[in-house]
């Protein structure tokens, strides 16, 4: 499973972000693992704008993940592979900060 995600990240990431990010010698893009739980986003504090987020989707509801995607990911970069019709993990590009979620 990890090999499939890594391969997906390499193939998908190289095509989508190749033109948008020029990395200088002092700046580097990394892959960050983030866990979305009912009350927090664990690991996001170690990530920088432009990093690839690999989000573990096993500990929170689908609505919590949609909230996270809206608040932390650039919408056009969200990739959610399915496993037996269920989205378990996903990857996206980090926008650089977690936006506030305004509920009406």
Is residue 98, in this structure, part of any structural domain at all?
Answer: no
**Three-class secondary structure of residue 35 per DSSP:** strand
Domain assignment of residue 8, yes or no? yes
Report yes or no on 80 lying in a domain. Answer: yes
Residue numbers of the domain that contains 69: 2-93
Domain-located, residue 65 = yes
pLDDT number for residue 45: 93
> Has residue 47 been placed in a domain?
yes
Residue 58 DSSP symbol: S
Instruction: Give the count of domains, the chain.
Output: 1
- Does a structural domain hold residue 41? yes
User: Per-residue pLDDT tens for 2-58?
Assistant: 555 444 555 555 444 444 445 444 468 999 999 888 788 889 999 999 999 998 766
pTM of the model: 0.67
Beta strand 31-36 with 52-56: parallel, antiparallel or unpaired?
Answer: parallel
Does residue 28 fall inside a structural domain?
Answer: yes
Task: Classify residue 101: in a domain, yes or no.
Answer: no
């Amino acid at each position: 499973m990890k090999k499939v995600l890594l391969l997906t990240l390499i193939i998908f990431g190289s095509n989508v972000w190749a033109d948008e990010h020029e990395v200088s010698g002092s700046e580097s893009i990394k892959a960050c693992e983030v866990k979305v739980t009912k009350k927090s986003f664990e690991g996001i504090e170690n990530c920088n704008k432009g990093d690839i987020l690999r989000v573990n989707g096993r500990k929170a509801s689908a609505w919590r993940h949609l909230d996270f995607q809206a608040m932390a990911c650039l919408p056009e970069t969200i990739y959610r592979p399915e496993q037996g019709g269920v989205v378990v993990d996903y990857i996206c590009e980090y926008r650089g900060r977690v936006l506030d979620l305004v509920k009406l």
